[in-house]
Homo-oligomer: A and B are copies of this chain.
Amino acid sequence: MSLRHTLLGFLSYGPMTGYDLKKFMDNSTQHFWHAQLSQIYPTLKRMESDGLVESMVLPQEGKPNKKVYSITVAGRDVLMNWLRSATTELPPAKEPNLLRLFFSGALDDDTLLAQLRQQLALHRAQLQRYEDETAAYIEQQIIETGRERDGMMWELAREFGVGYERHYLAWLERAVEMIARSQDGQKGA
């Protein structure tokens, strides 16, 4: 259900097209909610027939016409109800990399270490991105839109990402160390 909520959330900032919505998602909610254009377009269509959004076609030359969506009163209602709704359970997660590790007892130490080091590199890069690009993007968005309170939420989400990557890195580093040490022990014996 949450793609609908994501679209309502962005449209609550102002009217825009499906294409615009995709770009906003790629730049901001990407790491906690994402979608392809091929899912966004039909979802907007269904949301319109459900009365949550309405569209206006802007004719263009040399490009397909723009279809600009706005949130309706009913849409704002659905959005606010979602924002207020209680969290009674932790959402189930799918983490293929953890799953892989869980069953990696069958791998030799070298392959296992290579796996973990690959992940280390990816997470280091992601931490960097949160600290540089994402921070700059949020600051710029706050200046451009003047949405300071929303900006506080965006910043909180970014800080979650930073904390998450730091935890992930610390854990990976400990795991690598542990396995490397147990390997030395075997070679030395």
Seen from chain A, the residues whose Cβ lies within 8 Å of a Cβ on chain B are 2, 5-6, 9, 12, 28-34, 79-80, 82-84, 86-107, 111, 115, 118-119, 122-123, 126, 147, 149-154, 156-157, 159-160, 163-164, 166-167, 170-171, 174-175, 178
Q: Out of B80, B84, B160, name the residue touching A98 (CB < 8 Å).
A: B160
Is the Cβ of B98 less than 8 Å from the Cβ of A157? yes
Interface centre among A9, A88, A95, A170 (most CB of B within 10 A): A95
Number of copies: 2
Closest chain B residue, CB of each to CB of A6: B99
Residue of B nearest to A174 (CB): B159
Distance, CA A92 to CA B31, complexed state (A): 6
**A93 lies within 8 A of B31 (CB):** yes
Partner of A87, one of B80, B82, B90, B122: B122
Q: Is the CB of B6 within 8 A of A118?
A: no
Given contacts A9-B102, A84-B111, A87-B122, A33 and B149 within 8 Å (CB-CB): no
Q: How far is the CA of A150 from the CA of B154 in the complex (A)?
A: 40
In the bound assembly, the distance between CA atoms of A86 and B117 in angstroms comes to: 11
Shortest Cβ gap from A120 to chain B (Å)? 10
CB–CB A123/B32 < 8 A: no
> Contacts A29-B99, A87-B97, A103-B153 given; 11 further ones with Cβ under 8 A?
A2-B99, A31-B92, A31-B95, A33-B95, A90-B122, A91-B96, A93-B93, A102-B154, A102-B157, A156-B175, A163-B171
